[in-house]
Chain A
Amino acid sequence: MENIIEYLKAERAQDWRAELRKSMKAKERTSRERVQMPEEDPFVRNKSKIEVNIGLTAEAAVLEAQRCLDCPDPTCITGCPVGINIPKFIKNIEAKNFAGAAVTLKETNALPAVCGRVCPQEKQCEIVCFYTIKLNKVPVAIGHLERFAADWERNSGKMAIPETEKANNVKVAVIGSGPAGLAAAGDLAKFGYDVTVFEALHEIGGVLKYGIPEFRLPNELVDTEIEVMRKMGIKFRVNFIVGKTASFDDLKKEGFQAFFVGSGAGLPRFMNIPGENYNGIFSSNEYLTRVNLMNAADPEFDTPVISGNKVAVIGGGNTAMDSVRMAKRLGADESMIIYRRSEVEMPARVEEVKHAKEEGIIFMNLHNPLEYYADENGRVKSMKIQKMELGEPDASGRRRPVPIEGSEFIVDVDTVVVSVGVSPNPLIPAALSDLKCTDWGTIVVDKETMQSSIPEIFAGGDIVRGGATVILAMGDGRTAAAGMHKYIQEKIKAN
């Protein structure tokens, strides 16, 4: 901790930062309005794949960067799970040194273009910005600025390839290519390891590819980052399920010294209510995978998807928002959220709820499904729902939804997407009987090093947390890479 604070102080004391601070009065900075993110027209975008947020212009980014006070005690950093030096990158933007801003981001965050788009900033960095906590004003748009700097770098065509230490010829394996695995692979490569990433699907990226839709996170951007990682010498093997295609023992025989497991939360949950297996009822994973990974909506591609006119999506998280907005894009007249709590309790990013409303999504909050009914072909045609009210807070601290007896009614639907959560992917725990797991199926690790009960196996991301965020998964990947580095170096010394 000490040296981080010292480092931040030293950085802040540099002449260019001191001059920037003096160049404008604090009063003037704080009296500015936060810039608005330009967005595509809601009724154009809800019929296409185009990204909703257009991105800030350089002028707007500089204006927004000027709002940041370059605080002596930058509380914003404490809200970022990977501890980005936020004032440093923002002041680089103010100084129009956009490349410098991008380099700063990459010091601690391997995928800033992704995080700038999908982090729940309002609950992480922006909630602890000086503006929020001391001035009671709208925070600096840290996420929008992060995205701006990362996009600027990508569009400049001069993506910096992070420097790697001299190759040490020690083989390490990363299992899963979601954000946790990619972050771990990036750092392990920087330490000089010979890194192979194994991925079960035919594409690299995990949820970034199969889950989060194009209109929020274009695939092209994930691919660019992966290209950079290839240039760092990282090898990728798709269509390879560790524990099935080859066992851990097979891989050890091939010389792998340590493993990072970032296998995610793969298993969709259903509600186990009558009729849930009728045609036209999907898990959000299936619905989104068909459209995002398999391109089912494009007639040129072989995978089909059924999506109707009246679509109900059950749940209130990011996955539910992505599904309900996707249904609209696939042509639904009515696309609605059915959520058992109220909007305050919704776990989705605030921006996604706002965008969904603008796009004409119907919100049936405080409602819960009880049963589905099908037509003569087995396709869902309607559902019974019940009204709920909020009772006492439960273990999660959120007020518990309580059914209102006698409030049941029937709604016509022809497609339903069940988005009530996922369980940890069981593939790795099933392949390793002596791996210590919780009753929920998450892997138990030491928080400092992410080491599991099997010394050479480390883990992070959703397989450890049960379900989290992109940036938390990446933070875990980095912590684990450091833990693995220490473990391997000690082992080498001992021999």
Chain B
Amino acid sequence: MSKILEKEFFSKNVVKIVLDAPEIARSRKPGHFVIIKMGEKGERIPLTIASADAEKGTVTLVIQKVGVTSDKLSRLEVGDEVTDVVGPLGKATHLENVGTVLCAGGGVGVAPLLPIVEGLKKAGNRVVTILAARTKDLIILEDQMREYSDEVIIMTDDGSYGTKGLVTAGMEEVINREKVNMSVVIGPAIMMKFAALTTKKYNIETVASLNTIMVDGTGMCGACRVSVGGKTKFVCVDGPEFDAHQVDFDEMLSRLSAYQDQESAAYQKYLQTVEA
């Protein structure tokens, strides 16, 4: 059981919660995630630890509502408890000073990108961050990102905010403008696929953090498997970060959609019950 100590909406669909989880707060490093489960009938979902305070014993999660579990979580209030929280899971991000790092986050990927941007900055890098979304309302965590980035570039598909265009256009602009030593891309699989193709053209080492479907998060089930360099890897224990140029994103995209019909039906049903 972990109590919710703070809660704040960043936008209609994005919420930050601060949980009381002293052991996890003490052990966690940037790049780690937790698995949470709500109630006896809940499912287990992975969420990145956006930040933590070892002294206060708290961890912060930033959740984007996309389905039943993320929605349920967003409806909990300060003082409520999350039944199960386990972690920290995954391998920590390898943080060193490489020079200039281009970070690109899209949609759900912006939350897990935040602690990495923070870590890279603290390691002494110049950090240029691109936040991309379909439209203005979906741009999240802009202020938090500005705090740790030397520059933040906003890209929207419809041009309602920042520059009109896809994330890859913004990336190319930066790459053509200055020497980029490394890139970190996190977002929907399709975005990471094209971002990786872009940096590959320029031979820039690129890390992607993969958000596959998970069950246990401890290497026991294989639900999270992906092909990296032709070999099967488990995202929860071998990742979540991998060399983006080696990841088979098409396979990952397909695997992410495995439960799409069931999940959207369940979400519709859930929304009817909460709105009724």
Residues A304 and B24 in contact in the complex (CB < 8 Å), given A267-B220, A268-B220, A279-B255: no
List the B side residues contacting A256 at CB < 8 Å. none
Q: Which of A245, A276, A377 contacts B23 (CB 8 A)?
A: A245
Q: Shortest beta-carbon distance, B271 to chain A, in Å?
A: 14
CB closest residue in chain A, given B224: A286
CB closest residue in chain B, given A430: B237
List the A side residues contacting B232 at CB < 8 Å. 270, 272, 276-277
B43 contacts the other chain (Cβ, under 8 Å)? yes
Binds A, one of B82-90, B111-119, B137-145, B182-190: B82-90
Cross-chain contact A277 with B84 (CB below 8 angstroms)? no
B68 contacts the other chain (Cβ, under 8 Å)? yes
Q: Which of B69, B87, B222 contacts A302 (CB 8 A)?
A: B69
Cross-chain contact A427 with B219 (CB below 8 angstroms)? yes
> What does DSSP make chain B's interface, helix, strand, loop or mixed?
mixed
Q: Shortest beta-carbon distance, B124 to chain A, in Å?
A: 28
A289 contacts the other chain (Cβ, under 8 Å)? yes
Give 1 or 0 for each of B218-249: 1 = CB within 8 Å of chain A CB. 11111101110000100001000000000000
Cross-chain contact A202 with B258 (CB below 8 angstroms)? no
Cross-chain contact B85 with A279 (CB below 8 angstroms)? no
Instruction: Report the bound CA distance from A426 to B222 in whole Å.
Output: 14
Q: Which of A244, A270, A285, A377 contacts B220 (CB 8 A)?
A: A285
List the A side residues contacting B251 at CB < 8 Å. 277, 378
In the complex, which of the residues B69, B83, B215, B232 has the most CB atoms of chain A within 10 Å of its own CB atom?
Answer: B215
Instruction: Report the bound CA distance from A306 to B261 in whole Å.
Output: 10
Q: Shortest beta-carbon distance, A193 to chain B, in Å?
A: 22
> What does DSSP make chain A's interface, helix, strand, loop or mixed?
loop
Q: List residues of A (259-283) whose CB comes within 8 Å of B's CBs.
A: 266-268, 270, 272, 276-280, 282-283
Cross-chain contact A378 with B254 (CB below 8 angstroms)? yes
Instruction: Report the bound CA distance from A426 to B220 in whole Å.
Output: 10
In the complex, which of the residues B68, B83, B254 has the most CB atoms of chain A within 10 Å of its own CB atom?
Answer: B254
Residues A279 and B254 in contact in the complex (CB < 8 Å), given A240-B86, A270-B232: yes
List the B side residues contacting A392 at CB < 8 Å. none
Binds B, one of A105-113, A144-152, A293-301, A319-327: A293-301
CB closest residue in chain B, given A290: B215
Q: Shortest beta-carbon distance, B101 to chain A, in Å?
A: 27
Q: Which of B42, B216, B259 contacts A304 (CB 8 A)?
A: B259
A303 contacts the other chain (Cβ, under 8 Å)? yes
CB closest residue in chain B, given A199: B86
List the A side residues contacting B258 at CB < 8 Å. 279-280, 306, 378-379
A63 contacts the other chain (Cβ, under 8 Å)? no
The size class of the interface chain A forms with chain B is 35 or more
Instruction: Report the bound CA distance from A200 to B223 in whole Å.
Output: 17
CB closest residue in chain B, given A278: B254
A201 contacts the other chain (Cβ, under 8 Å)? yes
Q: Which of A279, A286, A295, A306 contacts B221 (CB 8 A)?
A: A286
A238 contacts the other chain (Cβ, under 8 Å)? yes
The size class of the interface chain B forms with chain A is 35 or more
List the A side residues contacting B222 at CB < 8 Å. 268, 270, 282-283, 285-286
Give 1 or 0 for each of A183-204: 1 = CB within 8 Å of chain B CB. 0000000000000000011100
Q: Shortest beta-carbon distance, A334 to chain B, in Å?
A: 21
A425 contacts the other chain (Cβ, under 8 Å)? yes
List the B side residues contacting A240 at CB < 8 Å. 23, 86
Cross-chain contact B84 with A302 (CB below 8 angstroms)? no
Give 1 or 0 for each of B248-264: 1 = CB within 8 Å of chain A CB. 00010011011100110
A224 contacts the other chain (Cβ, under 8 Å)? no
List the B side residues contacting A303 at CB < 8 Å. 43-44, 215
Cross-chain contact B86 with A202 (CB below 8 angstroms)? yes
Cross-chain contact A377 with B218 (CB below 8 angstroms)? no
Q: Which of B86, B215, B219, B257 contacts A377 (CB 8 A)?
A: B257
Cross-chain contact A241 with B218 (CB below 8 angstroms)? yes
Cross-chain contact A286 with B215 (CB below 8 angstroms)? yes
A246 contacts the other chain (Cβ, under 8 Å)? yes
Cross-chain contact B219 with A244 (CB below 8 angstroms)? no
Instruction: Report the bound CA distance from A378 to B262 in whole Å.
Output: 16
Residues A201 and B266 in contact in the complex (CB < 8 Å), given A283-B221, A295-B41: no
Which residues does B use to contact A, with CB under 8 Å?
23-24, 26-27, 37, 41-44, 68-69, 83-89, 215-216, 218-223, 225-227, 232, 237, 251, 254-255, 257-259, 262-263, 266
Q: Kindly list 16 other residue pairs between chains A and B, CB separation below 8 angstroms, not including A277-B255, A302-B69.
A: A200-B218, A202-B84, A239-B85, A239-B86, A245-B27, A266-B219, A276-B232, A301-B42, A302-B42, A302-B68, A303-B215, A306-B259, A306-B262, A377-B257, A425-B219, A425-B220
A-B contact pairs, 11 of them (CB 8 A): A200-B216, A201-B86, A239-B84, A239-B85, A240-B23, A244-B88, A279-B255, A289-B215, A294-B44, A304-B43, A378-B257
